Amino acid sequence: MANEITALKRQQEAVGMNAMRALLAEQERVRSMREALQAAIFQMQGPMNLISAARDLLERRGAQADPALRHALNQAAATGQTALERLRALVPAVPPEAATPVNINQLLREVLELCKQRLLAGGTVVDWKPAPMLPAVTARASRLRGMFKQLIDNALDAMDSNRHQPRELRITTATQEQTVSVVIEDTGPGVASDLQWRIFEPFFTTKRAATHVGLGLAMVQEVVNEQRGMITLDPDYDAGCRWQVLLPIKYEDDS
């Protein structure tokens, strides 16, 4: 009887995990579409600004300026602007999600499960230290899941680039006053002190692959702000990166 119940429970868990994997895959797809479009808009904005500046310069010259050139630049600015607006309209919206009580330990376990393939392939040692008792945090669960996945993906990217070091991912949860604290540490190369602020900028990346567009930490910051939380990078930690995310237990949803 007990065996049967255990087997049934395991089966239910597997079904739940598959559903979540599918949901997360869909979210990743939408997110990468958003990122690709935002990157394209960002790339186009530079030359568009140049065209507008050149047009303004010619306008100021008034009658001296070549009318054909003025016309051409006006046309280029107008069509460019329309193209940008079309692209902006194509950026998929973030689906609305209600905030519910979330068990952060369980959520992190799910994220680790989702990263399992990559963790195993890289031979990464995971040191998972959940607090035995953790109060629930009112949050939008899939946003939080996506956020922790970004941080863990970054940690794994960093350790990929640092092949000679032992690869260790440490995740610790704790209650700290009225917040839940999550500390994520890796044994990658860490972030140079002059870049510690820049890494949050949208489109800032030090990675070469075209799939890394530098929007991960911008998204992390956005989700932490939504939760009225805080994220800090320990400047004194030099064995890699140490992030701390603080999430208030009580959360007033004002949206």
Q: Of ligand ADP, Mg ion, none, which one sits near residue 109, judging by CB under 5 to 8 A according to partner kind?
A: none
Q: Residue 154 interacts with Mg ion (CB under 5 A)?
A: yes
Part in contact with Mg ion (CB under 5 A); list of ranges 13-21, 35-43, 69-77, 215-223: 215-223
Residues lying near ligand ADP in the complex (CB under 6 A) are found at 150, 154-155, 158, 186, 188-191, 199, 204-207, 212-218, 241
**51-86: buried (b, 16+ CB within 10 Å) or exposed (e) per residue?**
beeebeebeeeeeeeeeeebeebeebbeebeeeeee
Nearest partner of 78 among 70, 89, 66, judged by Cα: 70
Number of residues that bind Mg ion (CB under 5 A): 2
Q: Of ligand ADP, Mg ion, none, which one sits near residue 24, judging by CB under 5 to 8 A according to partner kind?
A: none
Q: Which two tokens stand for residue 180?
A: 């839940």
Q: Residue 216 interacts with Mg ion (CB under 5 A)?
A: yes
Q: Of Mg ion, ligand ADP, none, which one sits near residue 147, judging by CB under 5 to 8 A according to partner kind?
A: none
Q: Which two tokens stand for residue 19?
A: 């559903």
Q: Of Mg ion, ligand ADP, none, which one sits near residue 118, judging by CB under 5 to 8 A according to partner kind?
A: none
Distance of alpha carbon 22 from alpha carbon 29, whole angstroms = 11
Residue nearest to ligand ADP (CB): 216
Q: Name the H helices within 95-193.
A: 104-114, 116-121, 141-160
**Cβ distance 188 to 124 under 8 Å?**
no
Question: Interface with Mg ion by CB under 5 A: which residues?
Answer: 154, 216
